[in-house]
């Protein structure tokens, strides 16, 4: 817009009109902090009827946002329920060595459970193997 005009977009959530408005505004600001405001804006606008925490987590995962405070099991469940990611291979990357976490991840639809830390080459081989399995190669 040149150096004389600056476009600034601000969220003014109207929680009394839409109970999830504030939560959606926070999701947009989290995305903005990672350079993906407009992508999240578009996802929120296109899915105005689904702004619950699980749906917001799914949109954030679709945008590859860093989500350290998100419950991974809830996110996995939301991703498997969301049509856009229902058939996408999902590898859970966790520091947990718990067999219960491995089992629960599998039950919720994860294709692979990877314990970190992991060497990059090993990680890439596991991902390649998962894709080959999904494609029946």
Each residue of 51-76: pLDDT tens digit? 888 888 889 888 888 766 667 787 78
88 touches 79 (CB < 8 A): yes
d(CA 62, CA 75): 11
Confidence at 88, pLDDT banded by 50, 70, 90: confident
- What are 65's two structure tokens? 């946002």
Confidence at 44, pLDDT banded by 50, 70, 90: very high
30 touches 65 (CB < 8 A): yes
With 60 as the cut, is the pLDDT of residue 1 above it? no
Confidence at 41, pLDDT banded by 50, 70, 90: very high
d(CA 14, CA 25): 10
With 90 as the cut, is the pLDDT of residue 20 above it? no
With 90 as the cut, is the pLDDT of residue 86 above it? no
């Amino acid at each position: 817009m040149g150096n004389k005009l600056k476009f600034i977009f601000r969220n003014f959530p109207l929680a009394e009109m839409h109970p999830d408005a504030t939560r959606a505004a926070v999701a947009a600001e989290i995305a903005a902090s990672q350079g993906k405001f407009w992508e999240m804006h578009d996802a929120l606008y296109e899915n105005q009827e689904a702004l619950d925490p699980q749906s917001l987590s799914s949109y954030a995962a679709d945008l590859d946002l860093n989500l350290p405070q998100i419950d991974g099991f809830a996110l996995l469940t939301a991703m498997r329920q969301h049509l856009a990611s229902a058939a996408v291979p999902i590898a859970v990357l966790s520091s947990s060595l718990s067999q219960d976490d491995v089992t629960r991840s599998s039950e919720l639809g994860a294709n692979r459970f990877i314990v970190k830390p992991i060497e990059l080459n090993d990680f890439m081989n596991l991902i390649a193997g998962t894709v080959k399995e999904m494609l029946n190669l």
